[in-house]
Chains A and B, each alone.
Chain A
Amino acid sequence: MKFAKYLGASVAALALMASAASAQNVLRWTSQGDALTLDPHSQNEGPTNAMNGMIYESLVSRDADLALQPELAESWESSADGWTFKLRKGVKFHDGADFTAEDVVFSFARANEESSDFKEQATNVASVEVIDDHTVKLRTDGPNPILPNQMTSIYMVDKGWAEANNVVKPQDFAAKDETYAVRNANGTGPFKLVSRAPDELTVLDRNPDWWGEGQFPGNIDRIEYRPIANAATRVAALLSGEVDFVLDPPLQDLKRIEGAAGLKVTTVAQIRSIFFGLDQGVDELRTSDVKGKNPFKDVRVREAFNLAVDKEAIKRVVMEGLSFPTGIITPPGVLGNTPDNDTPYGFDVEKAKSLLADAGYPNGFSIQLDCPNNRYNNDEKICQAAVAMLAKIGVKVNLDAIPKAQHFPKIQNRTSDFYMLGWGVPTLDSHYVFQYLLEGEGSWNATGYSNPRVNEITQVIATETDLAKRTAMIDEAWDIVKAEMPYVPIHHQVIAWAMSENLEAPIGADDALRPRFAVMK
């Protein structure tokens, strides 16, 4: 009897819970990997920034079309020595504190700390000057026409909260303990953190006191994020209705998802190119059977590699049609990409073979291909396909596919002979690509490629203001690169999102979910 009563009570409680949940618009979504931390200045990584961007806000942000939008700043104007921002008034942090100019000063200082991962962007600001409570001037060393572009992911943190919780500095890699900010958050954004279990479940609730309340189409009351590492399981979760949105559905499952009742797929060309790098800098490759010389120093070998990779087959079979084969390592939409240089090198096994023979490798050689297995769309599968394609010209490739956390250091430390890399261009300008990937000293240029003219152009266009001259130089540099082939371009990526038909979420070329624009029916 007692038991029956208890049972009755719990059933009633369950029913209550269920009805409470269904009264709201709950957005349940998933992706491959969780945000690394909620500390907004600790890790500059796409998924982390996207998650933090729901809770925290920056002065200037981008909408789904990547156009600049006022966020915590209502307007801004440039002068010779910096930029002046008018701050939005009446903005409160989730804990009730007011957002003022002091917080901007503090946030830039925090983003400039040794342990911050946003130093590169934050150092563009030499100092922050408080004009009044709602006006700040960000001083720069010399004119910087694109400063607002460079600070869209520098989030504003409350000074008082950070001091009270001892998180004045971002979480340090070498720290022995996690800081308070890793699992607690206090932003100004449209969603408040309710609970955070890393790699398990993160719950955010609508912030009723948000400044933008009523100005945006979004009607989400609650966000539940649950990472699912396994791709098939993610799709299963969407198919069975456990989640409403999958950020990164596997491409091969898109047809099935589109065919399923109540589900849809949206796609957009991503500002990201995928390519292989060839180390032509070292005198002897580390993983090759060719000793005493480096075959990649010979442009014929590099051309052979370019001709041997069948980008069209990769598109059709590996990418399920969702990619744009290319001959350049930067995508359309970026200044410098032209229909001409975007054309792939073509696919010609016979010519590739004869080029290899001319270069002195009629029987090919062996080499290791380093590849990430959890970063780009079907990254490992593209590499596997490349292994088979290169085998047809006699190059024996030993594939080493590892998680991105271990793959990227190989590139940054320049210890890879032959590797896969993808590159996005947030500034939509070729300079960003030259600076990192083609300039001799570029921090992500593990090819060892260094062409004096390209290096020079990289320097000059940083400050060149004559647009016609600048564009001509960018074209010139790309022509050189196109001829010298330090990389093997494969394709530009396409972003695909899968979601319930009840959900309307604008897809962005930066692959970030913007819940303030998401509408649930």
Chain B
Amino acid sequence: MTEHTEDVSGKPPSLWARILDSDITYSFLRTPSAIIAAAITLLAVGAALLAPWIAPFNPFDPSQISLWDGKLPPAWAEGGQPQYLLGTDNQGRDMLSTILYGGRLSIIVGIAAVCLGMVLGVTLGVISGYFGGMVDAVIMRFADVQLTIPGILLAILINGIGRAALPLEFREEFAIYVVIVAIGLTDWPQFARVTRGATLVEVNKEYVQAARVIDLPGWLIMTRHILPNVMRPVLVLATIGLALAIIAEATLSFLGQGIPPTTPSLGTLIRVGNEFLFSGLWWITFFPAIALVVLVFAVNLLGDWMRDALNPKLR
């Protein structure tokens, strides 16, 4: 990947210049919802990634937790304590910190899963489009078939199989990777399809034909010439895919099949909090749920706008 970015940015005009100059920037600056969405997304991603530095506590470090501080309401409510702004959960973890760390996990899992799907999809897509024939037929058949099955179901199934295959004692330890793989594997066909389409267009262009004539190796042509040209639609897909991946992770965790409660993601927090909903400890569910919905909504909004701005044909 580094190879091609270097390559692209080396060409005048630079990538940044092109982006700033493009109709995308124009569209972005004139779409308030996109700006807001981008701001929220950036804020959420920033807060999540910086969680270890900005969170008041480290909820994943058990030695910092005091059970006596468990089940405290938010600071403004009766019985709340000022150091726990959003209250504490049943184990005595600070909700704000737990949400920041949990959101971080959710975003990391989402991004990792999308990256996995993207790498897989783009690779297969380029190969499919570049070589054509049998290779193309087989890959695309698989993509077609998989596309007919809703991603979330596939993720649940793959995750279920993955968990079952792990010996019990490794289940919690490897849960996060199983989740990433499960979601990533459900994501690839969209990427493959789009990439293949774009590749087919590029392959027939003269410069690729020329490169073939001078006997450049196939992988070089694919990475140097074709990849940069399919990145735009792929980025749109990745953004939309990120929202879906975050939901998928949360869903798996809510079903008790995802991230374990010792290092909870947003979905795990909602599941654990759900047990306390009727006992009046609403904040254990409510705040993570709001955080999740806002995050997903912002990413979705951004994705929607990008789709419209970048490629009306994808609609």
Interface residues of B in 61-79 (CB under 8 A from A): 61-63, 65-68, 70-71
Complex Cα distance, B275 from A253, in Å, reads: 9
Interface size on B, residues (CB 8 A): 28
Complex Cα distance, B67 from A390, in Å, reads: 12
Digit string of B136-174 for contact with A (CB within 8 Å is 1, else 0)?
000000000000000000000000000000001101110
A392 touching B278, Cβ below 8 Å: no
Please give the distance in Å from A506's CB to the nearest CB on chain B. Answer: 26
A388 touching B65, Cβ below 8 Å: yes
For B90, give its contact among A231, A252, A399 (CB under 8 Å): A252
Please give the distance in Å from B265's CB to the nearest CB on chain A. Answer: 16
Complex Cα distance, B280 from A397, in Å, reads: 31
B279 touching A317, Cβ below 8 Å: no
B278 touching A313, Cβ below 8 Å: no
Q: Which residues of A contact B279 (CB under 8 A)?
A: 250, 252-253, 255-256
Asked if B25 is at the interface (CB within 8 A of a chain A CB), the reply is no
A232 touching B278, Cβ below 8 Å: yes
Asked if A367 is at the interface (CB within 8 A of a chain B CB), the reply is no
For the residues of B in contact with A, the DSSP-based class is: loop
Asked if B123 is at the interface (CB within 8 A of a chain A CB), the reply is no
Complex Cα distance, B70 from A287, in Å, reads: 29
Q: Which residues of B contact A384 (CB under 8 A)?
A: 91, 261-262
Asked if B201 is at the interface (CB within 8 A of a chain A CB), the reply is no
Asked if B28 is at the interface (CB within 8 A of a chain A CB), the reply is no
B61 touching A402, Cβ below 8 Å: no
Nearest to A380 among chain B residues (CB) is: B261
Assess A318 versus B169: contact at CB under 8 Å? Given A253-B278, A385-B91, A397-B62. no
Q: Which residues of B contact A317 (CB under 8 A)?
A: 67-68, 70-71, 90, 92
Q: Which of A232, A368, A399 has the most CB of B within 10 A?
A: A232
Assess A400 versus B278: contact at CB under 8 Å? Given A313-B68, A381-B90, A381-B91. no
A256 touching B168, Cβ below 8 Å: no
Please give the distance in Å from A374's CB to the nearest CB on chain B. Answer: 11
Nearest to A316 among chain B residues (CB) is: B68
A239 touching B278, Cβ below 8 Å: yes
Asked if B250 is at the interface (CB within 8 A of a chain A CB), the reply is no
Q: Which residues of B contact A231 (CB under 8 A)?
A: 275
Q: Which residues of B contact A318 (CB under 8 A)?
A: 67, 70, 90
For A256, give its contact among B66, B70, B71, B278 (CB under 8 Å): B278
B275 touching A250, Cβ below 8 Å: yes
Q: Which of A250, A287, A385, A406 has the most CB of B within 10 A?
A: A385
Nearest to B93 among chain A residues (CB) is: A388
Complex Cα distance, B172 from A314, in Å, reads: 24
Assess A387 versus B68: contact at CB under 8 Å? Given A232-B278, A252-B281, A318-B90. no
Please give the distance in Å from B149's CB to the nearest CB on chain A. Answer: 27
Asked if B54 is at the interface (CB within 8 A of a chain A CB), the reply is no
Assess A388 versus B91: contact at CB under 8 Å? Given A313-B67, A317-B67, A317-B70. yes
A235 touching B168, Cβ below 8 Å: no
Asked if B277 is at the interface (CB within 8 A of a chain A CB), the reply is yes
Complex Cα distance, B62 from A399, in Å, reads: 11
Asked if B297 is at the interface (CB within 8 A of a chain A CB), the reply is no
Complex Cα distance, B90 from A500, in Å, reads: 27
Asked if B274 is at the interface (CB within 8 A of a chain A CB), the reply is yes
Complex Cα distance, B168 from A399, in Å, reads: 12
Interface residues of B in 87-114 (CB under 8 A from A): 90-92
Please give the distance in Å from A298's CB to the nearest CB on chain B. Answer: 22
Digit string of B237-281 for contact with A (CB within 8 Å is 1, else 0)?
000000000000000000000001110000000000011111111
Asked if A310 is at the interface (CB within 8 A of a chain B CB), the reply is yes
Digit string of A255-289 for contact with B (CB within 8 Å is 1, else 0)?
11000000000000000000000000000000100
For B168, give its contact among A236, A252, A314, A400 (CB under 8 Å): A400
For A391, give its contact among B62, B68, B92 (CB under 8 Å): B62
Q: Which residues of A contact B281 (CB under 8 A)?
A: 252
Nearest to A253 among chain B residues (CB) is: B279
B172 touching A388, Cβ below 8 Å: no
Q: Which residues of B contact A400 (CB under 8 A)?
A: 168-169, 171-172
Complex Cα distance, B275 from A231, in Å, reads: 6
Nearest to A252 among chain B residues (CB) is: B279
Q: Which residues of B contact A232 (CB under 8 A)?
A: 274-278
Q: Which residues of B contact A316 (CB under 8 A)?
A: 68
Interface residues of B in 212-239 (CB under 8 A from A): none
Q: Which of B61, B62, B65, B70 has the most CB of A within 10 A?
A: B62
Q: Which residues of B contact A406 (CB under 8 A)?
A: 168
For B67, give its contact among A235, A236, A385, A402 (CB under 8 Å): A385
A392 touching B91, Cβ below 8 Å: no
Please give the distance in Å from B11's CB to the nearest CB on chain A. Answer: 51
A-B contact pairs, 22 of them (CB 8 A): A232-B274, A232-B278, A252-B279, A252-B281, A253-B279, A255-B280, A314-B67, A317-B68, A318-B70, A318-B90, A368-B169, A380-B261, A384-B262, A387-B262, A388-B66, A388-B92, A398-B172, A398-B173, A399-B172, A400-B168, A401-B172, A402-B168
Task: Apart from A232-B277, A239-B278, A399-B262, list 18 A-B contacts with CB within 8 A.
Answer: A236-B278, A253-B278, A313-B67, A313-B68, A317-B67, A318-B90, A381-B90, A387-B262, A388-B62, A388-B65, A388-B66, A388-B67, A388-B91, A398-B172, A399-B172, A400-B168, A400-B171, A402-B171
